[in-house]
Structure 1
Amino acid sequence: MATSSCPAFVSAPRAAVIGAASRAIVARRVAPTGAKRRVASTIVPRASADAPPVPAVDIPDTNDEWEAVSPVDFAADVSAALAADKVVILGKRGALRSPGFVASLPESLRTVWLEAVAAVQAGDNGGKRSIMVPWDNGGRLKDVLIGVLPTAVSRHNCPAAAFAVNALLAGCQPPAHGQTLGVITALTSTSDAVPIAVAVARHFPTYTAKSVRGGGRGGVERGRIALRGRVLVAQTCASPLSCDLDAETRARVVAVSRAVRLASRVVDTPPAAMDPDALVGEAAAVAAELAGPTHGLDVSWDALRYDALKACGFGGLVAVGDAAARDGREPALVHVKYRPSGGAPGSRLRKIALVGKGITYDTGGLQIKGKSGMPGMKTDMGGAAATLGAFKALCQLRPQHVELHLVLCIAENAVGPGAFRPDDVVTPLSGRTVEINNTDAEGRLVLADGVAYASGTLGCDDVIDVATLTGAQMIATGKNFAGVLSDDEAMERACVDAGRASGDLAHPLPYAPEFFTKEFGSKIADMKNSVKDRTNAQTSCAGQFIANHLDRGWNKADPDASGEEETEGRIRRRWLHVDMAGPATNKDGRGTGYGVALLVHLISGELYADGK
């Protein structure tokens, strides 16, 4: 087991290694000393020998620059959104027809509003229609899209019906540069504000590599990344009377929505640009922003890279990342810590670890994925992106009742001379040996190191690991629900409730170590890394493998798993596993930022009230 004295250092970012058939060369840029540590890239298109020089396509360096390319802003009231070039108005029928909301509309729209809303046929996914309305005293016509959300949903769904927002916005492209799209959401309750705002924000993804096209050679001229217009979101609680959101709710809406866009951008970025160095840089930039003058929080960070990981016994990360490390893309374990200010000296805060799987690309290793199974594997770091975004949003909301730890387990599962093999025996940080029988079950190996570090070295009370771990999760709980596994019933119930409240839906998986641990039996090691029987609750088994590497003293003194505090006063420790393979991406393969809103709701909720 590693100790806190284990050396921590940050390797200098290295140039990405790209095959000869690649169409782009990635040139690394690192911010000057004292500035944000952000690893970014410039994509330089290759040119034929007889072609004139082609200008580079500039990729934004920072979150602020990405927001400038594709901004989603939040207005304090509906008037600013109504002034946009095009307007979308979403809500349940009752909210859209409430007298207070109707009174907030301009007169030209108000005169036709009730009839237009009544004409919308809303099914399970809602309904919509567009109308052209005279504006500016009849000087011009404005396109107004009316979206009616479903009034009722099933008991496992989000009551806000946030799932329908994407369908209602289908066809709404980001506005052209210099234009604004106004999105107004009429809410039946302030509790609907975050799930609806998040659904709107994730409909307009941040990352793009599309370039400006003009009249150059052959009619195409490559230039800077295409700038987009502004999406301006305004929310109002329309029942019984229209009213603006309170400051606390607005702050939560903005923090969570922007963190969701951060997570989705990280997932969407191509693997040559979002390699392990770049993902470390993303975490470093978030830590620097939170600790900087804008927020002034007590946030610190460090990272262990290949040599330190090997010296300290992080055998899972070293094994998975070894092949890529030989080409300069070293694995990393990133630790970011937040402690609230103003607490009583020596006060005991509940320590929560968010542990994210950050496989920046997953080839499957030597048991390589097929031609249809490998594309899209840049998204295999969705868990790390979700925990990074959630950590940022939570810190911005300044929780005073918990101490937060972010642990990112970052590696690229590559094929090469250093690749780990079936039949190898790996020793993760827990000290429990693992016989490899599936190199494509690599995520659980890096998470084994992460949860051992969080529960042992850091001594966290609660460990929450988040990962795009198994394809079997989609068979178990579908593409819209993450599968959650916990050794604590209260934690499991709170997570499911947080999913319904936030729109990041989650559903319990069976927790029964006595049934699942035996699936990993090995004759030569403590366990194998993949199951014998793939029909025996694979997703629960994968989560159980991770739980096997929690600190050896994890709840050993507990008489049961009731979730109650022990009689001797020691707080019961809790573990939660979130397998988000399905909801991490949408039908187009774009990152959704799933998990950010779920974790923020969970840690801000009743489960952690007063630091319990």
Structure 2
Amino acid sequence: MPFPKAVLETNTSQLSTTYDAYVLISNTLSSLHYPHIQTILEQHQSIDERVGITATLVAADVAGKRLLQVPVGQLTRDYDDVRRIFDAARHTAQMIIDSGIRKPLLEINLAGLTANQTAQFENAIEAAYLGLCQGLWQPLEAREALDEDVIEPIHCVGLIESEGNIDVQRLNALEAGKRLARDLCGTEPERMAPPGFADYCVDAFKGSNVSISVITDDAQIRHEYPLLHAVARASIEVKRHRPRIIRMVYEPVGEVTKTLLFAGKGITFDTGGADLKVNGHMAGMSRDKGGAAGVAGFMKTLSLLAPKGIKVIAELGAVRNSIGADAFIPDEIITSHAGIRVRVGNTDAEGRMLLADLLSHLREDAVNAINPELFSVATLTGHAAIALGPYTALVENKPARDQGIAQKLFAHGELCADQVEQSLSRREDFDFVKPRTKADDVISSNNGPSVTTMRGHQFPMAFLTIASGLDKHEANSELPLPFTHVDIAGSGIEDLDWQHGKPTGAPVNVFVNTYL
């Protein structure tokens, strides 16, 4: 899986033939490494007022004999953050390719900032590199059908840093993880039907330090993941659509001091089931596997960085929510892996069903784990996108809140262009899913869409807590288990364009920056 590799450069005097363009990403016209650049740009500005406003390509005595100045705009306002650099690089990617640039050398120069403002942009080089890679990425189908070297012609990105402080191994590991996440999320629903999704994961970790196993047996899935199997029921008759459970484990060398446990929602296509998506709302639902894709991407970066002290266990449910004679339906009562009787409220609220069973299995791992933290990651609700826009929503239980897990993720997300926002779990959420009869223990959902439901992205966390058995591990229990639900419905696809937008790889970056 080739991608533009980051290369650290510290001496600009020897790079005239190595790179074919010098890309200056900056909030001024000045350069730290080529002082004459400012004069050239100011002279060009006298005939082109776009200089300093939009990306501008000029001839210059720099690496490659051409200079591309990419302005990032104002950075000193209260609401400016490192995404200014990420987005500037991302939006310039196509211009770089169209200009014939194949080996760019990047300098990031942010001038005139206070010490506090400079701290906000400490990961500017990382943001520029990852933003450029985001813009350069092309879908897996396109890379397979067309000449990959033509549609993704840039294989190397130089990063200039006189102090040599850039960790390019880490940057390349980050992009490798994000690329795996984008490929898994963004590929069409037949190529990435559950068996194909599982096979792609197996290939991605072949020979690595992450052990991976896949459950394929229908009877085993029905017995051990009953809620997940119910969602998959209408897909069983089509062999290429049958569900898969993918389990990944990373064991560090030496002592374990922390354990992370991830459940990933991998709905490879969501018809809505019996509560069928209508009026064109089914288009783009092949991206409903973004949560599982993001977890797989994090595991890829983890495998390449091989950190000490941290153990990670992930379970991904790859399932197609099909419609058919055997589809699960509202009003069914299905007993979860944790022994909880779940009444189905809406079959288009399928993601939380499979996550509950995955979390129940991870709960059993967590009971004996060292300093465990549990997460569910999913493109779960339209409400998260409506409420928070392009930000990842975090909903914690009290043990997680007591440990400040969402606060840690928030702080690191602000610095790495993968922002998150905290949503609180409230008593109203648990009241919303409480049983109305003695026939069941919890209700999966109301019968309406999340976007028109109050607290539509918060109450699913209450359901997950009960259906997975995590409510037995509250803050006042003998064994509290911190659990954070991560909803990437707003952050997982560029511009919230589920049908055509590029997957972002969220939340790979924020988890890497927080834990690795």
**TM tier, smaller:** 0.7 to 0.9
Aligned to 1:526: 441
Aligned to 1:505: 419
Counterparts of 2:472 and 2:434, CA distance in 1: 21
Which moved further from structure 2: 178-187 or 386-395? Answer: 178-187
Deviation at 1:142, TM superposition (A): 5.7
Match of 1:91 among 6, 23, 26: 26
2:265–2:355 contact (8 Å) kept in structure 1: yes
Tell whether 2:511 aligns with 1:603: no
Equivalent positions of 1:448-459 (< 5 A) are 448-457=356-365, 459=367
Match of 1:444 among 340, 344, 352: 352
Sort the Cα spacing of 1:253 and 1:418 in 2 relative to 1 into closer, same or farther, 3 A. same
Aligned to 1:590: 502
Deviation at 1:147, TM superposition (A): 0.9
1:236–1:243 contact (8 Å) kept in structure 2: no
2:291–2:377 contact (8 Å) kept in structure 1: yes
The Cα offsets for residues 422-465 of structure 1, whole Å up to 9 and x where unpaired, read as 12112221211111121100011111111111112453511111
Match of 2:408 among 488, 494, 504: 494
Amino acid at match of 1:235: L
Aligned to 1:435: 343
Aligned to 1:333: 245
Aligned to 1:260: 178
Amino acid at match of 1:540: Q
Counterparts of 1:120 and 1:326, CA distance in 2: 63
Aligned to 2:40: 112
Aligned to 2:488: 580
1:97–1:117 contact (8 Å) kept in structure 2: no
Counterparts of 2:79 and 2:355, CA distance in 1: 29
Amino acid at match of 2:385: M
Q: Secondary structure at the match of 1:335?
A: strand
The Cα offsets for residues 103-137 of structure 1, whole Å up to 9 and x where unpaired, read as 5xxx7x575146568999899xx832323315699
1:357–1:384 contact (8 Å) kept in structure 2: yes
The Cα offsets for residues 199-235 of structure 1, whole Å up to 9 and x where unpaired, read as 11111123254599xxxxxxxxx97667331253222
Using structure 2 for the length normalisation, give the TM-score.
Answer: 0.84
Counterparts of 1:443 and 1:262, CA distance in 2: 21
Sort the Cα spacing of 1:185 and 1:484 in 2 relative to 1 into closer, same or farther, 3 A. farther
Match of 2:328 among 416, 420, 427: 420
2:94–2:136 contact (8 Å) kept in structure 1: no
The Cα offsets for residues 27-67 of structure 1, whole Å up to 9 and x where unpaired, read as xxxxxxxxxxxxxxxxxxxxxxxxxxxxxxxxxxxx2xxx2
Sort the Cα spacing of 1:354 and 1:370 in 2 relative to 1 into closer, same or farther, 3 A. same
Counterparts of 1:603 and 1:385, CA distance in 2: 18
Counterparts of 2:243 and 2:16, CA distance in 1: 45
Counterparts of 1:481 and 1:520, CA distance in 2: 25
1:81–1:232 contact (8 Å) kept in structure 2: no
Amino acid at match of 2:59: V
Counterparts of 2:143 and 2:170, CA distance in 1: 34
Counterparts of 2:146 and 2:84, CA distance in 1: 41
Sort the Cα spacing of 1:322 and 1:173 in 2 relative to 1 into closer, same or farther, 3 A. farther
Amino acid at match of 1:357: K
Counterparts of 2:143 and 2:175, CA distance in 1: 26
Match of 2:430 among 511, 514, 517: 517
Amino acid at match of 2:243: P
Counterparts of 2:321 and 2:76, CA distance in 1: 41
Match of 2:391 among 462, 481, 493: 481
2:265–2:377 contact (8 Å) kept in structure 1: yes
Counterparts of 1:116 and 1:231, CA distance in 2: 30
Sort the Cα spacing of 1:532 and 1:518 in 2 relative to 1 into closer, same or farther, 3 A. farther
Deviation at 1:195, TM superposition (A): 2.5
Q: Secondary structure at the match of 1:131?
A: strand
Counterparts of 1:190 and 1:485, CA distance in 2: 27
Tell whether 2:160 aligns with 1:236: yes
C-alpha RMSD over aligned residues: 3.2
Sort the Cα spacing of 1:364 and 1:535 in 2 relative to 1 into closer, same or farther, 3 A. closer
1:517–1:544 contact (8 Å) kept in structure 2: yes
Gaps of 5+ in 1: 1-62, 213-221, 291-296, 561-565, 605-612
Match of 1:540 among 458, 468, 472: 458
1:338–1:404 contact (8 Å) kept in structure 2: yes
Tell whether 2:224 aligns with 1:322: no
Q: Secondary structure at the match of 1:270?
A: coil
Amino acid at match of 1:603: Y
Using structure 1 for the length normalisation, give the TM-score.
Answer: 0.72
Counterparts of 1:554 and 1:119, CA distance in 2: 70
Counterparts of 1:326 and 1:601, CA distance in 2: 42
Identical-residue share of aligned pairs (%): 21
Tell whether 2:72 aligns with 1:149: yes
Aligned to 1:76: 8
Deviation at 1:143, TM superposition (A): 5.2
Amino acid at match of 1:408: L
Counterparts of 1:595 and 1:80, CA distance in 2: 35
Deviation at 1:559, TM superposition (A): 3.6
2:122–2:415 contact (8 Å) kept in structure 1: no
Deviation at 1:97, TM superposition (A): 2.1
Q: How many residues align?
A: 485
Sort the Cα spacing of 1:117 and 1:167 in 2 relative to 1 into closer, same or farther, 3 A. farther
Aligned to 1:467: 378
Sort the Cα spacing of 1:447 and 1:173 in 2 relative to 1 into closer, same or farther, 3 A. farther
1:516–1:541 contact (8 Å) kept in structure 2: yes
Amino acid at match of 2:163: C
Counterparts of 1:378 and 1:355, CA distance in 2: 19
2:392–2:488 contact (8 Å) kept in structure 1: yes
Aligned to 1:196: 128
Amino acid at match of 1:529: S
1:187–1:235 contact (8 Å) kept in structure 2: no
The Cα offsets for residues 381-401 of structure 1, whole Å up to 9 and x where unpaired, read as 111111111111022212112
Amino acid at match of 1:97: S
Sort the Cα spacing of 1:173 and 1:384 in 2 relative to 1 into closer, same or farther, 3 A. farther
The Cα offsets for residues 76-125 of structure 1, whole Å up to 9 and x where unpaired, read as 226659854455331333xx625x3225xxx7x575146568999899xx
Amino acid at match of 1:234: G
Aligned to 1:284: 202
Sort the Cα spacing of 1:544 and 1:80 in 2 relative to 1 into closer, same or farther, 3 A. farther
Sort the Cα spacing of 1:187 and 1:132 in 2 relative to 1 into closer, same or farther, 3 A. closer
Q: Secondary structure at the match of 1:451?
A: helix
Which moved further from structure 2: 461-470 or 390-399? Answer: 390-399
Sort the Cα spacing of 1:244 and 1:457 in 2 relative to 1 into closer, same or farther, 3 A. closer
Counterparts of 2:464 and 2:396, CA distance in 1: 11
Q: Secondary structure at the match of 2:233?
A: helix
Equivalent positions of 1:383-398 (< 5 A) are 383-398=291-306
Amino acid at match of 2:383: A
Deviation at 1:163, TM superposition (A): 4.6
Match of 1:410 among 306, 318, 324: 318
Sort the Cα spacing of 1:172 and 1:179 in 2 relative to 1 into closer, same or farther, 3 A. closer
Deviation at 1:580, TM superposition (A): 0.7
Sort the Cα spacing of 1:387 and 1:210 in 2 relative to 1 into closer, same or farther, 3 A. closer
Deviation at 1:236, TM superposition (A): 3.2
2:267–2:289 contact (8 Å) kept in structure 1: yes
Counterparts of 2:156 and 2:164, CA distance in 1: 15
